[in-house]
């Protein structure tokens, strides 16, 4: 009997534009659980089209192991924001690497980066530097509990904060109900639901954590409704609840001062990752003065957290984002892409819905909920040389140029034609 991985390989071999990658995946499936794990794994269920392994990358382009080239609209699922191998970021990283990276102690660059972020980020009076987004969100919940002496954390349904047990959905393997004993989930954008759980759990809620807007997978993105964040802020202030914003995905793509500033409020604690290092592994939890003492008491560490190369890269990346009009460029390119996709779809008698900020768009066909058209469309685009994901929001970067967008719109035009032929509407 074939394993699930072998079954995927057999299916993939039928349409072989990636033979070397399938051979690698076959080897991987013998030594790595699932062959490839995590966020890219769902694409393996559409075998033989989407690339499995990267060979090299430059700017907003990358090449898979079979030599196929893609214009990238996933940007490493967010961390690539200036373009792969951005010269200033790589130069800063290499300079630091020649001095020291992971040693017993942090380097001076840790202080410089923290100072820079305190100056740049609207709600930062201090910064703790970590590695993954989930390090930052887990740390934030500990600070909220240490500060308030309370246990419960309120989250929004469908918001992703990482893979630690406290925030992984209850239906995932390895999670037990006790992991969520002190976690309450409420619908996004529902101020009344928040006020209700606060009233029902008076004096017990340590913190509320949410992403600045709703960016789940598989469904449309939803921006905060008028007055939502203001109402959340007021209720948190009144009830002594710590307001935590998970800006890991959207941070520095909406606003260089943080997404709370973008939506006109101040978080108590705000978590960044992804875009802050242009692919170097680094993330952060920043907070306001009031939480400094609790923040300094929480025990939280990791073998690589003092590694200086990623800090030097991050400092160069943040400087470039602050000075280089990066947010504006990503939004301009994202708008060009979104408008162009809508027009191209229309020209084939199709309609697409695009939600979320232009720099982080999510697209689906207006007349479907099962995403089969979207999977087929993205596969057709990928075959032609632009990498789009059918179920996840896309990411724009500062290296996207009008010529790239035009080329992708050409790929999309062919793909919409193919959708029309296959599905009829």
3-state secondary structure 349-383: CCCEEEECCCCCCEEEECCCCCCHHHHHHHHHHHH
Residue 273 CB, nearest approach to ligand PLP (Å)? 5
Q: Cβ(254)–Cβ(231) under 8 Å?
A: no
By CB under 6 A, residue 137 contacts ligand PLP: yes
Q: Cβ(221)–Cβ(393) under 8 Å?
A: yes
Tell me which long-range contacts 348-352 makes (C-beta under 8 A, separation of at least 24): 348/413, 348/416, 348/417, 348/419, 348/420, 349/420, 349/425, 350/416, 350/419, 350/420, 350/425
Residue 162 CB, nearest approach to ligand PLP (Å)? 4
By CB under 6 A, residue 134 contacts ligand PLP: yes
> Scanning residues 60 to 119, which ones bind ligand PLP (CB under 6 A)?
none
Give the H or E element holding residue 246.
Answer: strand 242-246
Can you say whether the dihedral through the CA atoms of 102, 104, 110, 114 is positive or negative? positive
Residue 61 CB, nearest approach to ligand PLP (Å)? 23
CA 393 to chain centre: 9
First to last CA, the chain: 39
Query: Which single residue brings its beta carbon nearest to ligand PLP?
Result: 133
Applying CB under 6 A, which part among 64-72, 158-166, 182-190, 201-209 lies near ligand PLP? 158-166
CA 238 to chain centre: 31
State which residue, 139 or 306, has the beta carbon closest to ligand PLP: 139
State which residue, 142 or 249, has the beta carbon closest to ligand PLP: 249
Treating both helix axes as pointing N-terminal to C-terminal, what angle do 228-239 and 191-200 enclose, rounded to 10 degrees?
Answer: 10
State which residue, 191 or 248, has the beta carbon closest to ligand PLP: 248
State which residue, 282 or 405, has the beta carbon closest to ligand PLP: 282
Applying CB under 6 A, which part among 242-250, 306-314, 399-407, 412-420 lies near ligand PLP? 242-250
Residue 181 CB, nearest approach to ligand PLP (Å)? 21
Applying CB under 6 A, which part among 46-54, 96-104, 130-138, 201-209 lies near ligand PLP? 130-138
Q: Coil, strand or helix: which one is 243? A: strand
By CB under 6 A, residue 161 contacts ligand PLP: yes
Residue 355 CB, nearest approach to ligand PLP (Å)? 16
Residue 285 CB, nearest approach to ligand PLP (Å)? 11
State which residue, 127 or 336, has the beta carbon closest to ligand PLP: 127
By CB under 6 A, residue 216 contacts ligand PLP: no
Count CA within 13 A, CB hemisphere, residue 24: 14
State which residue, 47 or 224, has the beta carbon closest to ligand PLP: 224
Structural tokens at position 394:
């896309």
Q: Checking DSSP bridges between strand 152-156 and strand 183-186, what pairing results, if any?
A: parallel
Among 132, 138, 221, 386, binds ligand PLP (CB under 6 A): 132
Q: Which residues contact 296 (CB under 8 A, 6 or more apart)?
A: none
The site for ligand PLP, by CB under 6 A, has a size of 12
By CB under 6 A, residue 273 contacts ligand PLP: yes
By CB under 6 A, residue 207 contacts ligand PLP: no
Residue 249 CB, nearest approach to ligand PLP (Å)? 3
State which residue, 162 or 287, has the beta carbon closest to ligand PLP: 162
By CB under 6 A, residue 160 contacts ligand PLP: yes
3-state secondary structure 280-307: CCCEEEEECHHHHHHHHHCCCCCCCCCC
State which residue, 246 or 380, has the beta carbon closest to ligand PLP: 246
Tell me the DSSP string of 98-151.
HH-SS-SS--HHHHHHHHHHHHHSTT-SEEEEESSHHHHHHHHHHHHHHHH---
By CB under 6 A, residue 246 contacts ligand PLP: yes
DSSP 386: E
Among 8, 233, 249, 288, binds ligand PLP (CB under 6 A): 249
Residue 387 CB, nearest approach to ligand PLP (Å)? 17
State which residue, 29 or 259, has the beta carbon closest to ligand PLP: 259
Applying CB under 6 A, which part among 83-91, 155-163, 217-225, 261-269 lies near ligand PLP? 155-163
Residue 356 CB, nearest approach to ligand PLP (Å)? 13
Kindly list the residues in this chain that would bind ligand PLP in the complex (CB under 6 A). 132-134, 137, 160-162, 211, 246, 248-249, 273
């Amino acid at each position: 009997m074939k394993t699930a991985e072998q079954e995927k390989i057999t299916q993939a071999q039928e349409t072989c534009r990636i033979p070397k990658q399938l051979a690698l995946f076959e080897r991987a499936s013998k030594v790595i659980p699932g062959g490839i794990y995590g966020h890219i794994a769902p694409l393996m269920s559409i075998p033989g089209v989407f690339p499995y392994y990267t060979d090299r990358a430059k700017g907003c382009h990358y090449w898979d192991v079979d030599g196929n080239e893609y214009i990238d609209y996933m940007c490493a699922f967010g961390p690539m924001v200036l373009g792969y191998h951005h010269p200033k970021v790589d130069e800063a990283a290499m300079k630091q690497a020649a001095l020291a990276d992971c040693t017993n102690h942090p380097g001076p660059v840790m202080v410089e980066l923290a100072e820079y972020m305190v100056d740049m980020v609207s709600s930062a009076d201090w910064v703790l530097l970590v590695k993954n987004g989930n390090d930052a969100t887990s740390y934030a919940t500990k600070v909220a509990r240490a500060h308030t002496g309370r246990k419960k954390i309120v989250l929004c349904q469908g918001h992703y904060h990482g893979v630690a047990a406290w925030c992984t959905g209850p239906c995932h393997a390895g999670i037990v109900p006790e992991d969520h004993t002190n976690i309450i989930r409420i619908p996004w954008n529902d101020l009344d639901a928040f006020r209700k759980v606060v009233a029902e759990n008076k004096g017990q809620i340590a913190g509320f954590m949410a992403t600045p807007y709703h960016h789940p997978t598989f469904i449309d993105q939803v921006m905060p409704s008028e007055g939502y964040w203001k109402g959340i802020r007021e209720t948190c202030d009144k009830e002594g609840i710590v307001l935590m914003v998970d800006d890991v995905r959207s941070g520095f793509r909406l606003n260089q001062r943080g997404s709370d500033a973008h939506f006109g409020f101040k978080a108590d604690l705000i978590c960044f990752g992804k875009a802050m290092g242009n692919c170097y592994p680094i993330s952060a939890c920043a907070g306001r003065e009031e939480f400094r003492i609790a923040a300094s008491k929480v025990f939280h560490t990791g073998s690589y957290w003092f590694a200086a190369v990623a800090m030097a890269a991050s400092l160069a990346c943040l400087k470039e984002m602050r000075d280089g009009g990066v947010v504006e460029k990503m939004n301009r390119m994202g708008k060009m892409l979104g408008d162009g996709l809508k027009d191209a779809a229309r020209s084939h008698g199709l309609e697409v819905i695009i939600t979320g900020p232009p720099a982080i768009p999510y697209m689906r066909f207006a007349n479907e909920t099962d995403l089969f058209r979207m999977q087929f469309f993205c596969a057709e685009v990928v075959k032609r040389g632009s990498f789009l994901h059918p179920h996840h929001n896309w990411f724009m970067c500062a290296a996207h140029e009008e010529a790239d967008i035009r080329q992708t719109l050409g790929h999309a035009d062919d793909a919409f034609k193919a959708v029309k032929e296959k599905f009829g509407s």
